[in-house]
Amino acid sequence: MSAGFGKRLLVVWLALCAITIVSLIVGSLEGRAAHVPNAAITSSAIGIALVKVRIIFREFMEVRHAPVSLCRLTDAWVLLTAVSLLGVYFLGMAFRMDAG
Amino acid sequence: MMNAAGAGSPQHGVDVRPVSKHSEKSEAYVPGQPDMWAFVLFESFLFTGYFLVYMVCRTQSPELFLRSQAELDLRIGTFNTLVLLTSSWTMARCVKAAREGSFPSASTNAFLTMLFGFVFLVSKVSEWAQEIRKGFGFSSNEFFSFYYFLTAIHFLHLLIGFVVLGVVVHQLSSPARRSQELIETGATYWHTIDFLWVIIFSLLYVMR
Amino acid sequence: MIGSVAEPEPEARAGSLLRRIVWHWCHDPKRELWFAWWMMVVFYNLYGLLFFVVARVQPPPDPGWDVPTVVQWFTDHHLGVLSGFAIIFLVTGFIVPTNALLAYSMRRMSVSRAFAYSYLIIYSLAAVPGMLLTCIALTVGSIRPDRDPALIHWLYDFAFMAFDGTMGVFLIGSLVWMAAVLLDENRVFPKWFGYLNLCNALTEVVVAPAWIFKRGAFAWDGEIAWWINMVVFVIYTIVFISLLRRMIEREDFGTGPLPNLPTDDADAEARDPSGSMAMAR
């Protein structure tokens, strides 16, 4: 394997693993027994996940080298998923709080 | 098997696509069959649908979901994620090696991908066994219904992934067969298993 | 140009719609294929209309209802169920040319005929639990409104479990078609359609929890077990009806690769005059 490619893939993998460890830390914050919804943790969790997904698309799945239409499609899906999941979460939480 | 739709692609693995050593200089290309990308995007939208239903149900009973989520082990989830990320790495290395003609290296990476996939499989099954022993089954409560559903449907995709990896290994094993397009198509499928898990992990294990 | 289908004779295109239909009926070598295709279109439209609008049994009602509510549902749907399903029983036979056309598509492929025959057998049987048992159970429940409520509740459960729960045959059928499409070298269908069959097959698996849950997203009326599945199924049906139409248009009654339509070749030429993209793939 040519050194250039091998190195880039290695760096990407290490970065993804590091980001995963960050998720582990974020998910363990304030104790698992808190049993309280936490918007900051949720937003970070979902945000981090979708950053990882985009990296996987661009680097591992080679969307970086793909025609623009594929780049746009995958980015659009990532954005749609992030916005809809967070949107449902915040709306759902707000509705619950109003209901008491 | 799985020839390109419409075009008369070569039966034997000579890839005439202009790919240079430095990817920045090559033309834009779609890795693998565009057909597989259509599948990947369709499944992704489908899973987004499942995730949204989960999220709606979660916001309606947050205490139940949080209490039940505490029964899951975040470290196992993290381990699963790291294993799949590593399998994606070896799969990407396999594709690059095959593209450069280093087929022994590509084969090794393909087998490593299978190995990591198998580690995930064993880990997931033992996690399920552990939860069941603690008394949490598919119909225990709403959270666990979603937990088993999302992990099981993902697991099913993983099993199909082993078939796909089998095709990739078969392609790599003989000079008569090596179709770069098929190898990339298989890789595209495998990475999908990985990124879907990344989201499932954040929704089931991490979020509050 | 890759071997194109023969241009239809001048009489085929001349004159009023009725004259053209009569010409095709008498002379078109593909008339049986077109007949089967039209029967399929008519059937699926009737199916949608009768189940969703006339009988109103889809979207499915709640599995968690108590006996009096279920009896009330039968009363409210009495006329729709009896009239709608009376027609369904008459037009069930339309499924025959539909399945035959699907099996024909597999016969045209380069794969073994076992695929076509397996599919035909599976789908011929599938209509019994997948549709007819439901119609019979609901009709029986409706025909005597003064029947014991417990029996009516039984028929209700039986009908909807038969419809939503017996997905195994459809699952295997989809996988057979998927395998045939992916292995085919005659290019009858694009490879993405093979993968779409896999998507459809997976949604059949997703329905399985309906046997366990009476409430929530996994019940027979749930967001996941029914609604999302129905979206996938409708897309899948529209896609295969369109692809079968294209197959018939391209059909040359040979055994080799199915030729492209002249319009497809023209489009490809326009997009890439030098042919370099075709070469690169």
Q: What is the pLDDT of residue C271?
A: 66
Which of A17, A48, A67 lies closest to B30 in CB terms?
A67
B189 and B36 in contact (C-beta within 8 Å)? Answer: yes
Mean pLDDT of C19-31: 86
Residue spans of the domains in chain A: they are 3-99
Q: Is B94 on the interface with A (CB under 8 A)?
A: no
Q: Which domain holds residue C109?
A: 54-253
Angle at Cα C103 formed by Cα C233 and Cα B165, nearest 5°?
65
At A93 the pLDDT is 86
List chain C residues with CB under 8 Å of B142: 216
- Percentage of chain C exceeding pLDDT 70: 91
CATH superfamily, with its number, for domain B32-206: Cytochrome c oxidase, subunit III, four-helix bundle (1.20.120.80)
pLDDT tens-place string over residues C170-182: 889 999 999 999 9
pLDDT of residue C124: 86
Return the pLDDT at C281. Answer: 40
Residue C267, domain member (yes or no): no
Q: How far is B152 from chain A (nearest CA, A)?
A: 20
Residue C11: per-residue pLDDT: 60
pLDDT at B23 over 60: no
Q: Between A6, A41, A85, which is nearest B55 by CB?
A: A85
Question: Which whole number is the average pLDDT over A7-11?
Answer: 94
- Domain assignment present for C63: yes
Q: Do A89 and B100 touch (CB under 8 A)?
A: no
The pLDDT tens digits of the residues spanning B24-54 come to 446 789 999 999 999 999 999 999 999 999 9
**A31 pLDDT more than 70:** no
The model carries a pTM of 0.89
Nearest alpha carbon to residue A57 among C274, B123, B199, C244: B199
* pLDDT at site B154: 97
Whether omega before A67 lies within 30 degrees of 0, making that bond cis, reads no
| Contact at CB, A77 and B41, closer than 8 angstroms | yes
State the average pLDDT over residues C51-74: 94
Contacts for C51 with CB less than 8 Å, ≥ 6 apart: C57, C58, C84, C88
The answer, for B28 touching chain C at a CB cutoff of 8 Å, is: no
pLDDT at A33: 55
In this prediction, residue C160 has a pLDDT band, given cuts at 50, 70 and 90, of very high
The shortest C-alpha distance from B47 to chain A (Å) reads 10
Cα–Cα distance measured from residue B87 to residue B93, given in angstroms and rounded to the nearest whole number: 10
Band of pLDDT at residue B9, cut at 50, 70 and 90: very low
- Nearest chain A residue to B83 by CA: give it: A17
For residue range B121-160, list pLDDT tens digits in order: 999 999 999 999 999 999 999 999 999 999 999 999 999 9
Out of A18-27, B64-73, B180-189, C164-173, least confident range: C164-173
Tell whether B23 is within 8 A of chain A (Cβ): yes
pLDDT at C219 over 90: yes
Q: If you average pLDDT over residues C72-78, what whole number do you get?
A: 94
Whether A72 has its CB under 8 Å from any CB of chain B: the answer is no
Under the phi-then-psi rule, with left for phi > 0, alpha for psi from -120 to 50, and beta for the rest, what region is B2?
left
Q: Burial code of B167-198, b = ≥16 C-beta within 10 A, e = fewer?
A: bbbebbeeeeebbbbbbbbbbbbbbbbbbbbb
Q: Which pLDDT band, with edges at 50, 70 and 90, does C7 fall under?
A: low
Q: Where are the alpha helices (DSSP H) in chain B?
A: 34-60, 62-69, 74-99, 103-133, 142-172, 180-201
Q: Which two tokens stand for residue C48?
A: 């949608």
Residue C188 above 80 pLDDT?
A: yes
- Determine contact: B38 vs chain A, CB below 8 A: no
Q: Do B181 and C281 touch (CB under 8 A)?
A: yes
Check pLDDT > 80 for residue C265.
no
pLDDT digits (tens, 9 = 90+) for A76-97: 999 999 999 999 999 998 887 5
For helices C229-250 and C191-206, angle between their N-to-C axes, nearest 10 degrees: 150
For tokens 């033309």, name the residue: B27
Q: Write down which chains contact chain A via at least 3 CB pairs under 8 A.
A: B
Q: Do C280 and B17 touch (CB under 8 A)?
A: yes
Name the token pair of C206.
């997703």
Q: Is residue C22 part of a domain?
A: no
Instruction: Please name the residue of chain B whose CA is at the shortest distance from the CA of residue A59.
Output: B92
CB within 8 Å of chain B, chain A residues 9-68: 9-10, 12-13, 16-17, 20-21, 23-24, 26-28, 32-38, 41-42, 45-46, 48-50, 52-53, 56-57, 59-62, 64-68
**Is B145 in the A-facing interface, judged by CB distances under 8 Å?**
no
Domain count, chain C: 1
Does the beta carbon of B25 lie under 8 angstroms from any beta carbon of chain A? Answer: no
- Whole-number pLDDT of residue C128: 86
Beta carbon pairs, A and B, within 8 Å: 164
B18 contacts C281? CB cut-off 8 A: no
The DSSP letter of residue C227 is: I
| Domain parsing of chain B, residue ranges | 32-206
- Are B139 and C232 within 8 A, CB to CB? no
Which of B17, B35, B46 is opposite residue C232, by nearest beta carbon? B46
Q: Which chains touch B (3 or more CB pairs under 8 A)?
A: A, C
8-state DSSP, B31: S
Chains A and C touch each other (3 or more Cβ pairs < 8 A): no
- Identify whether C16 is part of a domain: no
